[in-house]
Structure 1
Amino acid sequence: MDEALLRRLTPGVLTVLVRRGADFAAAEDAVQDALVEAVRVWPADPPRDAKGWLVTVAWRKFLDAARSDTARRRREDRVEEEPGPGPSSAVDDTLQLYFLCAHPSLTPSSAVALNTLRAVGGLTTRQIAQAYLVPEATMAQRISRAKRTVSGVRFDQPGDVATVLRVLYLVFNEGYSGDVDLAAEAIRLTRQLAAAVDHPEVAGLLALMLLHHARRASRTAPDGSLVPLAEQDRTRWDTAAIAEGVRILQSALARDRLGEFQAQAAIAALHADAPTAEETDWVQIVEWYDELAGLTDSPVVRLNRAVAVGEADGPRAGLAALAAVEDTLPRHAAAAAYLHERAGDPATAARLYAEAARKAPNLAERDYLTRQAARLNSRSRH
């Protein structure tokens, strides 16, 4: 069973049901039922038109559910007659579904939560909650409220570009982390959006994705262990992707409508431009973090800025900047550990590395931080 194919087809199938009049929650349930049926049937009898098969089965599941619920009988009068099997449209509906799930009736945070569900963006509730620094239960409630809000609403009013950009970047970052391989799909959709929408922030996001993705091959060792930026083999970076990202970014910046994705891309471009880690222009990176902090009140931005200050002005200055950032923030302990080690305090650094490892969001990061703590503890014993 090709799980990647099912994941790729799901948004398009969901879009078809929504277009035909199904509300989002009912459509999502019907699509999930169709996916279960596909897992059961396809290994022995694979269809020639996978999407068409899923659409037909999901639509039947939706109609069956509607007919079994007396409260929904009125809606049956509005839905189309079930279409016969046949070839499905070759049009890629994924990006349209992102816009539809950013419905004007939803708040931006609810739209992002709904949009990044497994059925649309490919992420679980837990992954979305981790990305937005809230408990999983809180995010589950947010998604449930979003579904209730759009229940019965016909998705014919697309939301705004800013919400869709946030969703695409969240999906990209989850893929970039290695937990779910969705980075290439996020880049593909952002390319589509950039071709359809003339907006510097869309270009900024595409540039940012390309610049990050260019380093992906060097981010892990052959054994799967994490390789930090300063230790990466820069000969393995994708120079074509870097050149494209820089070109797109420069064009966007020339329009003088700076946004947070353009600022993040500028920081990524400075890292990509340095032949070695030691030659990184940290002073200019701090300046871009100052610009970024003025555009968004993100605590993650302030944490990353503190690390950059530590590189530009010394670890003591970095620790002073870090003191203004909430210590409950994920990766705060890791940043503090790094700066304390550079400041000549290995004991404190080892303790903080161990603390950061316990809070790490994924196995690769936890193993890396654990090794750093062990390295410093071993050094102190000799």
Structure 2
Amino acid sequence: MKILVINSGSSSIKFKLYEMSSAEEGEVLASGLAERIGEDTSTLTYKRHEKDGSETKQTWNDPLPNHETGLKRIIKALSDPEKGVISSPDEIAAAGHRVLHAGEAFSAPTKVNDAVIDAIKKCIPLGPLHNPANLDGILVASQIMQGASQVAVFDTAFHQTMPPEAYLYALPYELYKEQGVRRYGFHGTSHKYVARVTAKLAGVPQDQSNIITAHLGNGSSMAAVRNGRCVDTSMGLTPLPGLIMGTRTGDIDPAIIFYLGKQLGLSLEELDNLVNKQSGLKGICGHNDLRDVHTAAEEGEERAKLALSMLAYRNKKFFGAYIAALGRVDAIAFTAGVGENDSWVRAQSLADMEHLGVVIDLERNDGRCSEPTLISADSSTIQVWVVPTDEEYEIARETYEVLS
């Protein structure tokens, strides 16, 4: 079964075409990115994945005025007689779409119908930057690929198994019932994939496993996963709270917003920009890319050193909290850009936690990890893994399961 995974952004379409033989086995046939849609300098990058593991890459710089043109150009590349991987678009059985927010409407991937489209629209206030673009991708694909099923895979769905004591805020209950104010969580597709793979690596049946997953990148979140089901996560109503991120504050005293609004006369829009785009690592030391922060720290910049210490300390607090929440932990897994590549962050985020059963082997932990890697010492009662995430494959897998 050929499944096209689509991640539609406001000015881009990221895609991967899979040949799925089962829910557990799939092969990437092609992938790529259409970017700067709507601009004069649009680019389509297309990669055909060869049987020997190599890639054949092509790039086009034709204008892509809208998402419809972009997706048509992608389909044309996939079915090109010389460089394509399908003879006809009719070979594509389904498109699996990444959708950011489903509110409480869906806790699993869902075949798209009018009710699903309405639910995505209703969640636009909760995901104003992503849901409209995600919906555009679905509507355009439905028009162009009329013979293919459309499946929505929601970023928030995995966290819908949290109990009320984890997802509710101590606000007037009516705000939850009437306005939907609660913890939703994000990066759910990544957390689900990594938790499933980590349980297998740890030798524990997924429905009997307790796993902490740490998706660390420019945007970061953690999840506590009991028996394959999320019971808590660090992000909330929005992706702002929790861990310190590239430009986001993570957890702060909410009264700071009122204080700054009064003291500096900042508008709601200016405050929103402050906590989401000017804070985090960038706010502390001026750099939001962790590689630049490390370089600055090595050159003696004290605020860069402070930013690194604050990041690791916040991570450690959440690891400790989730160990307490789960009671028994089989494994911890690091993933995403920072989690897979930054050995310092991994080591410092779990430093001095031997009394909780976490012991890092510094030699195993050294360097980047492009494949699943055990980084804990043999004496560690909690295994620690680095597991490269694969959200596109998880979307293809879940789309296959829906259709099966």
TM-score (norm 1): 0.29
Higher strand share: 2
Name which one, 1 or 2, has greater alpha-carbon Rg. 1
Higher relative contact order (CA 8 A, sep 6+): 2
Higher helix share: 1
